[in-house]
Amino acid sequence: MVNRTTISGGAATRAGALEVLQQNTWVHLACHGKQDLKQPYNSHFVMRDEHLTLLDIMEKHIPQAETPDEVIHLAVGIQFSGFKSVVGTLWEVHDPVAKHVEAFYRYIFGDLKDGGVVDCTKAAWAFNCTTHAVKTKMPLEQRIVFAHIDIGV
C-alpha cells in the first residue's frame, strides 16, 4: 500500500510543502516552477503564499551538505535534498503537454494492484515507457524537456 499526502488549495503553502517533503519518500510537485539563472538557489516552485525555493528545500533536509557553486536546476536541487530518483523538466513545459506524463505513474505504480511495492529503481524504465507512449501526442520540443536524474540505486 502506498501512503500519500496531498496538499492543494489553501494548504499548498511554502510551510505545508516543506512539511510534506520531510514526511514522504516520494514527491510529485504539480505546480509551476521558475529557474533563476543568476541566483540558482532562488529557483523556486510556486506555492499559494510564497515561493518554495531550492535553498528552502536544501536547508530543511540536509543543512550540512555542501553543494556545488554552479548553476543548478530544480530537479537537481530536489535530488541534492535527498531524493534518489527525480523526473523533472529542464525548462518550461506547457500545461496541456504535462498531463500526458501521467502515464509515468501508471508504469511506476502498475504492480501495486498485484501486491507489488513502489520501487524507485523502476523510474528510468517507467520514464522510458512514458516517452515512447506519448511520441504521437507531444511535439518533440516539448517531449525533450523531461529528464530523469538518478543516483544509480
**What is the separation, in whole angstroms, between the first and last Cα of the chain?**
22
Q: What is the pLDDT of residue 1?
A: 57
Span 17-35, average pLDDT: 82
d(CA 153, CA 33): 27
133, containing H or E segment: helix 123-133
Residue 150, phi then psi, degrees to nearest 5 = -140, 145
Span 27-46, average pLDDT: 85
* Helix, strand or coil, per DSSP, at residue 33: strand
Of 84, 75, 71, the C-alpha closest to 26 is 84
User: Tens of pLDDT along 97-126?
Assistant: 778 778 888 888 877 777 777 777 788 888
Which DSSP symbol is given to 36? -
What are the angstrom distances between the C-alpha of 135 and each of 21, 41, 67, 80, 92?
Answer: 32, 33, 35, 30, 18
Q: What is the pLDDT of residue 153?
A: 52
Q: Which of the pair, 13 or 92, is modelled with greater confidence?
A: 13
Which DSSP symbol is given to 129? H
- Please check the confidence at residue 46 and state whether its pLDDT lies above 50: yes
Domain limits, the chain = 1-83, 84-153
Confirm whether pTM is higher than 0.85. no
Who's near 149: CB < 8 A, 6+ residues apart? Answer: 75, 76, 79, 85, 86, 87, 88
What percentage of residues in the chain have a pLDDT greater than 90?
10
User: Tens of pLDDT along 55-70?
Assistant: 888 777 533 334 544 4
* Helix, strand or coil, per DSSP, at residue 112: helix
What are the angstrom distances between the C-alpha of 17 and each of 72, 118, 131?
Answer: 21, 22, 28
